[in-house]
Amino acid sequence: MSINASDIQADFLNTLTREEKVVWVFLVNGIKLTGQLVAFDRYVLALQSPTGIQTVFKSAVSTVCEAHGVEHLRTRDRRERPPASGSHRWN
């Protein structure tokens, strides 16, 4: 059985659209967009955010994933790591 890559993409995007999930869309230039995927076609994604709907060309997209919580450690809870050899510390 052969699985077509566009079928996998369409299935994933259809699920996000149908379930009205909040997604993160990372662009190839490093920008992160957040919103609900409301529609897509072969070339673009339509992303609904509080400021309106954005149309994003798929060619500009690096990654699409469900938004999730990120736990940040407090500074005092982080382990102190020794600097890598040859690294400089700026005071």
Give the pLDDT confidence of 36-76 residue by residue, as tens digits: 999 999 999 999 999 999 999 999 999 999 998 766 666 65
CA distance 59 to 56: 8
Complete domains list, the chain, with CATH: 5-67 (2.30.30.100)
Give the pLDDT confidence of 68-84 residue by residue, as tens digits: 876 666 665 555 555 55
**Which DSSP string corresponds to 4-73?**
-HHHHHHHHHHHHHHTT-EEEEEETTS-EEEEEEEEE-SSEEEEEETTEEEEEEGGGEEEEEE-------
Q: From the CB of residue 15, how many other CB atoms can be counted at a distance below 10 Å?
A: 12
